[in-house]
Structure 1
Amino acid sequence: MPKCHNYFVILIYLHLFLLSFLGRAQESTPTLAPLISYIEQLEREHNVKFSFIDADVRSIKITIPTTKTLEGILTDLEAQTGLSITKLNDRYYTIVKNPLVDLCGFVVENFENNTIPSATVEVLGTKTNVITDANGQFHLTDVPRNANIVIKHIGFKTIFLSAEEFSQTDPCRKIPLTTIYQELKEVVVYQFLTTGINKEQDASITINTGKFGILPGLIEPDVLQTIQALPGIKSVDETVSDINVRGGTNDQNLILWDGIKMYQSGHFFGLISAFNPYLTEKVTLIKNGTSVEYGDGVSSVINIQTENKVRKTFVGGAGFNLLSGDVYGNVPLSNNVSFQFSGRRSTTDFIKTPTYDRFFEKAFQDSEVTENNNVEDNSDLTREEDFYFYDITGKLLYDINEKQKVRLSFIHINNNLNYNETTDTDHRQSLLKQNNLSFGGSLQSNWTQRFSSHLNLYYTRYNLDAQNIVSEAQQLFQNNQVLEKALKLNTNYKLNSTLNWSNGYQLNETGITNRTLVTQPAFRSNIKGVILTHSLFSELGFKSPNSKWFARGGIRLNYIKNLKTFATFDDLILEPRLNLNYAITQDLKIEVLGEFKSQTTNQIIDLEQNFLGIEKRRWILSDDQTLPITKSKQASLGINYERNSLYVGLEGFYKKVEGISTATQGFQNKDQFRGEIGSYDVSGVEFLINKNMNTYSTWLSYTYNLNNYYFDDLVPHKFPNNLDIRHTFTFAGTYTYKKFRVGLGANYRTGKPYTQPQEGDNPIDNTTFPSRINYADPNSSRLSDYLRADASFIYSFKIGNRTKASFGASVLNILNKKNILNTYYRLNDQNEIETIKRGSLGVTPNVSFRMNF
């Protein structure tokens, strides 16, 4: 019994202790009472009356004040509620809402309640905004009671509150923000050759110059040189302004710079790209399966886009090589405005370097003539040249708000040449001025999360002035001018998470003038044409949720009207396009591409002897008589495999191009002056295998092309295309070690076709005036195979905290292989056949130094 009694006593004490603890716990939690009920209680206890609006106080709850005096109670209530209580006399009081309130809060993330510093807290409709401190706290004073508050931070959903929502019982409210969880779409991209070159899911190739690594022979990320490292793309004459994509001529490439069509793309007669790579953000190359938003370019699209983001800090750079010096910069003007600029100027008119000598020899090698297998003695030949080039670009970027952005761009490209050749008996002078001036503007608008639009306008002017003075009496003047104005509107609507619908309209007005004046024999010509093109296009894009399927298909409708007074015509052309990509497995993907395209601008290739070997091309318009609209059809099937940094790609294609002329193909045979209309078709296979690791990349590419002309009015009707290069191989590799980058590679291809004079006793036809060469069948002979090896080296280092520098060196044709790029024939003043062999670049060194800050 005593023992049980002890237990009973312990239980009683424990029960009393718990009651006491609960009582203290309840006392520590303040009791909230409705304000309106407490006001009624005050009226009874202190014999007073309060006047107020029910809606102002009905929802407010308070902690009962502990003070006993009415004055102290009212002061406490004002502090708790933010209400203003005014005494009218000893009995009557008014209670009203204060129009201005003070706010305080802690911004936290809603998962673990961690505070969020540097969140923006803004009072909408005013200029009042603050940033939360290191503890996530903020204070706002004198905020209108009816104001709305917005709180935002990167990575969190923006929240909107009214000033009245802030709890008055908590002196500093805790405000949780929800983390944004965004499911990123899988991007199927193959990176090959070097960093910055990617194959996208739609089969296009993108080049990011800012991430560009190194390629053999290149010490700068030259846009048009870089794409020639890809299968199916080459230049048979080693230039950047004559790029042949799948057997097409250069004028069949649509080159865009910030949405502006460019009619000039090179310096130094095409040996150097005219586009500054250091403000170029991305270059997109499309060989097939083109989106319907692009017109022209029956062989390819090369879309060059400069940096498109408003920068908050200044970036820039400068450098030089053995041909030119350049500078560029991106200058922030305000939080939403910045300006980009670049400029490059050659040193060729006051410094002669080994690089300049090699380039000049290649451009002016028409003086190296063999006559009846006897070498002409040119020991008395002297030459004087004054040659320089420059290019300038600028871009203004203005973000009106988060949904609308304006961009204004301009580019000016210029080449000038004054070349003189003098012998004891002769003097010749060639003058050549070539420039391109373009202005463009765009407005990008994101109207809703689903609907956006892009408006683009531009004006471009290309001008070529050439003069060839053989003697005072015999002179030739030529002018070629292109004026183009364009408007393009693209709209994009996301039907759902997998389906996208794009529509648009494009208007182009292109005018081209060709003037020719010959003093002896007297001849004058002035031909001008204007074409107006209206285009409507619509396209659907589909991407499956698991990214196994990508599909894009659409139609472009072109209404083309030639406004030429004596040869007016119009045409309606329908162009379907298709792009399909399917992932058979995670590593193996197949693509099917097809397109119809057309273009109304082409280039006449003047004979090289007109300007002592300085080739020049003149733009002309289709007129439905001497030159129809050029149209193409293309289909391709490809398969791509990538695993463990190994990429293997195989693609077969067929392309047919109609509406070509012997004048636009550069014929150098009996048919070069006839201007016959025909077509060509090319079928081929492109293969690439590339092993790309962190420190090295090595690749082998092979291209097979079978390219034939078809001309009904020529004999024979079918013969090899001037660009029929059957086999092309490239083997190259790059290696990166810390700050060193090295590239070494070799290019091999079979020789291009050319036409020889007929063998026998009558190679010259003297029955005509002037006499003409009797040629064998067109392109029945082939040049010797082509082989060139290149190397490059770049070393990067820092100068200070913000300045980076690099030194580079390259050698083109390090084996000094004497490649023949073209062979053609002509009659001299003695009515004898001359053989002109145009050779490739010899050993061509170059060095560069750059600083970026």
Structure 2
Amino acid sequence: MFPFLLIIVVLNFHILLKAHFFFKILLVVHITFTTYNSYAQSDTIWVESKYNLLLTDLIDQVEEGHSLRFFYKEEWLDGIKLKVDERTNLTALLEGVLPQYGLQVITYKNNWIIVNQPKREEGTENLVSDIPVDFIVGSYEQNLNRKSVELSGYARDGETGEVLTGVQVATEDLRKGGVSDVMGYYSFVLPAGKHLIKLEYLGYEPKEFWVDIRSSGIVDVELYKKTVELKEVTISAVADDANVKGIEAGKEVLSLESIKTLPTFLGEVDPVKTITALPGISAVGEGTAGFNVRGGEAGQNLLMQDGALLFSSSHLFGLVSAFNPDIVRDVVLYKGGGPAMYGGRVSSVLNVNLRNGNDTKYKINGGLGLISSRIVIEGPIIKNKTTFIAGGRVSYVNWLLKKVDNPDLNQSSATFHDVNVKVKHVINKSNVVSVSGYSSADRFKFVSDTTYNWKNKGLSVKWNHIYNKKLLSTLQLSGSKYLNEVFDKEGVGQFEYSSSISTLNAKFDFNYEHSANNKFDFGFHSLVYVFEPGELIPGDNNPNVISKNLDNERSIESAVYLSNELSLTPNLSLVYGARYSMYTLYGATTYAYDEGQPKSVDSIVDTLVYDNDEPVQTYNGIEPRLSLRLLLNSKNSLKLSYYRTIQYVHLISNTTALSPLDFWKSSGPSIRPAVGDQITVGYFRNMHDNVLEVSVEGYYKEVHNIVDYKDGTTILLNDKLEADLLQGFGRSYGIEFLFRKNKGLLTGWLAYTYSRSERLFKSAKYRENRINNGTYFPANYDTPHNLSLVCSYKISRRFSIGGNFTYATGRPITVPVSKFNYDGIPAVLNFSERNQFRIPDYHRLDLSVTLRSGFKKHKAIDGEWVFSIYNAYGRKNPYSVFFTQRGTAYKLSVLGSIFPSITYNFRI
């Protein structure tokens, strides 16, 4: 792998340095040969080169190979390049290119070609034309030689004023153009003169205008969303053919519009539930936080909101997303390590980007639902310069718990709230600063007894800077904290327990565009972790509980990375790079073990205590990344990717899904970091003008040093937990199928995944360090078959219906296989090997109906009613199966009823 990357890097820089010389030599030989042979056979001169070519070089070669002469002024043709993609007639080529530069070609006696400027009107510098222009940019006095000029500006949403990323701005023939960057800025070079400029952006009305550009200048543009679309519903926030032409395999980009296509649960639009309907992504079941990607654990997903780390993606144990949909711009998911700029998790990267506020006028939108309500306020602080957006949600879900068919749950209570605030300030066209903050809290009281609290806080400051049209940077400072609390302040059993993880993150990323076919990303990251594994404080009236406070741990994870996106040919492109990361643990308490015995509490021979600033253990490694795309044609492509990622922190949990009692632990002397390697191969095809898309992806993933615990281990407040943890090997593999319809009255997708996720814990030396006798066993979240069908049908301009069907194989469990009586104990259960049985399969149907307000152009409130049914046929899907002491089995179903809901969404 590394020799291959080295060769690519060397060749790439060699080409950059020597391109002009070699291209010119190759073109001289090639064009002379082809034009000579062509002319010898006929009067037609053919040009077959596929390289960029100076027009003056072409003329010189043609004159040498034929009895032709060209007459022109050198300044007319200075810098004009031709790009010949296929065998082209020379005359047709010149007649198609020269008019763009205010020139024309005239043949004389078949052998003489004269290049001349057309006549201009007296007293004006404009070409003779009756076409009115929308913009006049610059002046000819600033460009006396009529050289090529630069057109630049910002692309914005005409209604909200928010900058738009990915807008295509190009001349009518698409020969010249550019795409707006993350700041909405675009720029490209074109000849001086009149041009018809076209703008295109998915979900917005296309726009075109005439510009007379005389010298370099700025034209800011605005686009407006399609207000009525009878034959199209947007599923993706990217270009129609991005699935075929995009380079990275396993990448999903979802806009808010696509997220809204799924039926809601009790009126709540949920980005997390949307991604679990895609192939390769699953959730354990209702009432579970987190999600699993390609056989990975929930703790192996990197979660970010506007760049700030999050450690929980859900409220109410997974019933509601942690992300407020009204403030979300888009969701980007990489089913793997992703580009080299990401690291720290071995399964996936989920980045939720928040939108900016309206910079021209104030707006309010929100929704009133059966379990929660939400509101978002946005507008300008300084018009066209400083904006804000603030949103909040609050829940009232206790009535739902009363309907749950479980006496413990229907006597409990739950609530959550969250707040988002974001401010953006445009300093000038080269500098933009934004600040975003997030705070959330969940509270669950179990049967009027124990109370569970978990909280998320995050703050991010970002500075985008444009050095020039080729180089830009993003400096980001962020911090976050995830806190778990469990307490009982009533009765004689009073106590308080808490654990947390805090982070402070600094990132400095650069993007350098050497050319349209050669782009570099590089940067530096540093991340500080503070682990508080647990503290127990007994109540005043509870003498049976002893206070305990586990030692905190601190660590620093740093990384540098370099990535290059390179188009080798029009059909072959790749992204390759590497990330070097280093991790150091500071100030912890560790243990030394007897080397002649298996690691356990009994084999501890020494306790080692380190000061807060004293390094305990350092790990480092190189994480190569490679993605390759081969375009078979404009509608078909093959993709190949390889990712290596290193995860230095581990989620410790004895439950299948995330819970408030989970906590994170650092790698150290006895716990090594997890190392993941994943290979993906995919075929992508679009049909019927990108209306239909089909993809098939296969993957194989290995993870070394995954963490599991010995049978009977106590996780909570265990100061010697590392002695009870084992590290082993994990593998997962599968094939993912996706069929999606993107346009028309009926839209949606069908996703199917066959996958396996297995674990292996074997020790050649000690049987005590084995699980399942040292053989492979299914992971807790191994579900071989997953099927999702998502449909949305637009009946009329105001009325639409949607449906979502989900099926999954039941997850693995360990069950008692025999029992016997002993010393008066009614039954002693003998359990099977780990995860050798499964709970019943999971399936569910959701339905929704949306009624929008009238399409009156001017109205005070724009609203819609959403009626939904969750679990339409009342399936009692099992969350788990548990056993009494006598071995009697019981099935727990968190949501076993039909849940109708009604929500009113509004926009003022």
Determine the C-alpha separation between the residues in 2 that align with 1:272 and 1:818: 19
1:780 is matched by which residue type in structure 2?
Q
2:668 to 597, 615, 624: 624
Determine the C-alpha separation between the residues in 1 that align with 2:724 and 2:842: 31
Where 2:481 maps in the other structure, the secondary structure is: strand
* Corresponding position: 1:512 with 2:535: no
Q: Is the 8 A contact 2:137 2:218 kept in 1?
A: no
* Corresponding position: 1:564 with 2:621: no
Determine the C-alpha separation between the residues in 2 that align with 1:489 and 1:631: 25
Shift in Å at residue 212 of structure 1? Answer: 4.8
User: Cα gap change, 1:657/1:400 in structure 2, threshold over 3 Å: closer, same or farther?
Assistant: same
* Corresponding position: 1:208 with 2:267: no
User: Cα gap change, 1:680/1:849 in structure 2, threshold over 3 Å: closer, same or farther?
Assistant: same
Determine the C-alpha separation between the residues in 2 that align with 1:544 and 1:302: 30
2:411 to 371, 374, 383: 383
* Corresponding position: 1:437 with 2:457: yes
Shift in Å at residue 708 of structure 1? Answer: 1.1
Where 1:225 maps in the other structure, the secondary structure is: helix
Tell me what 1:502 maps to: 521
Determine the C-alpha separation between the residues in 2 that align with 1:760 and 1:698: 50
Shift in Å at residue 411 of structure 1? Answer: 0.5
Where 2:272 maps in the other structure, the secondary structure is: helix
1:589 to 637, 647, 658: 637
Determine the C-alpha separation between the residues in 2 that align with 1:356 and 1:636: 42
1:175-229 per-residue CA deviation (whole Å, 9 max, x = no partner) reads: 97479999xxxxxxxx999623656412311111156551244555421111111
1:659-703 per-residue CA deviation (whole Å, 9 max, x = no partner) reads: 22224999999x999432222111111112233431002533211
Determine the C-alpha separation between the residues in 2 that align with 1:731 and 1:665: 39
Tell me what 2:738 maps to: 688
Where 1:255 maps in the other structure, the secondary structure is: strand
Shift in Å at residue 116 of structure 1? Answer: 5.4
Where 1:792 maps in the other structure, the secondary structure is: strand
1:705 to 742, 745, 755: 755
1:456-501 per-residue CA deviation (whole Å, 9 max, x = no partner) reads: 10011221111257961x4553211111101000112122221111
Tell me what 1:650 maps to: 696
Determine the C-alpha separation between the residues in 1 that align with 2:710 and 2:417: 28
* Corresponding position: 1:552 with 2:575: yes
User: Cα gap change, 1:666/1:628 in structure 2, threshold over 3 Å: closer, same or farther?
Assistant: farther
Q: Is the 8 A contact 2:778 2:835 kept in 1?
A: yes
User: Cα gap change, 1:620/1:627 in structure 2, threshold over 3 Å: closer, same or farther?
Assistant: farther
Tell me what 1:371 maps to: none
Tell me what 1:795 maps to: 851
Where 2:725 maps in the other structure, the secondary structure is: coil
1:784 is matched by which residue type in structure 2?
P
Q: Is the 8 A contact 2:337 2:348 kept in 1?
A: no
2:552 to 497, 521, 528: 528
* Corresponding position: 1:195 with 2:241: no
Shift in Å at residue 402 of structure 1? Answer: 0.7
Where 1:774 maps in the other structure, the secondary structure is: strand
Where 1:226 maps in the other structure, the secondary structure is: helix
User: Cα gap change, 1:614/1:195 in structure 2, threshold over 3 Å: closer, same or farther?
Assistant: closer
Tell me what 1:50 maps to: none
Q: Is the 8 A contact 2:868 2:901 kept in 1?
A: yes
Determine the C-alpha separation between the residues in 2 that align with 1:786 and 1:117: 59
2:842 is matched by which residue type in structure 1?
Y
2:891 is matched by which residue type in structure 1?
K
Tell me what 2:199 maps to: none
1:343-379 per-residue CA deviation (whole Å, 9 max, x = no partner) reads: 111133xxx54x4545xx38xx4849xxxxxxxxxxx
Q: Percent of aligned positions with the same letter in both sequences?
A: 21
1:221-268 per-residue CA deviation (whole Å, 9 max, x = no partner) reads: 421111111011110123573201111111111111000011232211
Q: Which segments of 5 or more consecutive residues in structure 1 lack a partner in the other structure?
A: 1-105, 123-152, 160-174, 183-190, 369-381, 422-428
Q: Is the 8 A contact 1:651 1:686 kept in 2?
A: yes
Where 1:269 maps in the other structure, the secondary structure is: helix
Where 1:846 maps in the other structure, the secondary structure is: strand
What pairs up with 1:445-844 in 2 under 5 angstroms? 445-468=465-488, 472=492, 474-517=493-536, 520=544, 522=546, 524-543=548-567, 546=570, 548-567=571-590, 568-606=616-654, 615-625=659-669, 627-644=671-688, 645-663=691-709, 674-712=724-762, 713-714=769-770, 715-717=772-774, 718-737=776-795, 738-761=797-820, 773-798=829-854, 800-801=858-859, 803-825=861-883, 827=885, 832=886, 835-841=889-895, 842-844=897-899
1:207 is matched by which residue type in structure 2?
L
Tell me what 2:426 maps to: 399
2:588 is matched by which residue type in structure 1?
T
Tell me what 2:330 maps to: 282
Determine the C-alpha separation between the residues in 2 that align with 1:256 and 1:692: 28
Where 1:293 maps in the other structure, the secondary structure is: coil
Determine the C-alpha separation between the residues in 2 that align with 1:650 and 1:849: 39
Q: Is the 8 A contact 1:193 1:690 kept in 2?
A: no
* Corresponding position: 1:414 with 2:441: yes
Determine the C-alpha separation between the residues in 2 that align with 1:666 and 1:747: 35
Where 1:482 maps in the other structure, the secondary structure is: strand
Where 1:676 maps in the other structure, the secondary structure is: strand
Tell me what 1:112 maps to: 129
Shift in Å at residue 620 of structure 1? Answer: 1.6
Q: Is the 8 A contact 2:326 2:366 kept in 1?
A: no
What pairs up with 1:26-425 in 2 under 5 angstroms? 112=129, 177=214, 195-196=235-236, 200=243, 201=246, 202-203=248-249, 204-210=251-257, 212-217=259-264, 219-239=267-287, 241-288=289-336, 290-308=338-356, 311-334=359-382, 335-348=384-397, 352-353=398-399, 355=400, 357-358=402-403, 361=404, 365=406, 367=408, 383=411, 385=413, 387-421=414-448
1:616-658 per-residue CA deviation (whole Å, 9 max, x = no partner) reads: 2422222335533122111110101111122211111011122
Shift in Å at residue 297 of structure 1? Answer: 2.2
Determine the C-alpha separation between the residues in 2 that align with 1:807 and 1:707: 41
Q: CA RMSD in A?
A: 3.8
User: Cα gap change, 1:193/1:121 in structure 2, threshold over 3 Å: closer, same or farther?
Assistant: closer
Which stretch shifts more, 106-115 or 500-509? 106-115
Determine the C-alpha separation between the residues in 2 that align with 1:672 and 1:781: 29
1:580 is matched by which residue type in structure 2?
L
Determine the C-alpha separation between the residues in 2 that align with 1:253 and 1:662: 17
Shift in Å at residue 595 of structure 1? Answer: 0.5
Tell me what 1:845 maps to: 900
Q: Is the 8 A contact 2:533 2:665 kept in 1?
A: no
Q: Which segments of 5 or more consecutive residues in structure 2 lack a partner in the other structure?
A: 1-122, 140-185, 193-211, 220-230, 591-615, 716-720, 763-768
Where 2:818 maps in the other structure, the secondary structure is: coil
Determine the C-alpha separation between the residues in 2 that align with 1:117 and 1:496: 29
Q: Is the 8 A contact 2:617 2:669 kept in 1?
A: no
Where 1:400 maps in the other structure, the secondary structure is: strand
User: Cα gap change, 1:569/1:709 in structure 2, threshold over 3 Å: closer, same or farther?
Assistant: same
Determine the C-alpha separation between the residues in 2 that align with 1:475 and 1:709: 39
Q: Is the 8 A contact 1:231 1:688 kept in 2?
A: yes
Number of residue-to-residue matches in the alignment: 654
Where 1:311 maps in the other structure, the secondary structure is: coil
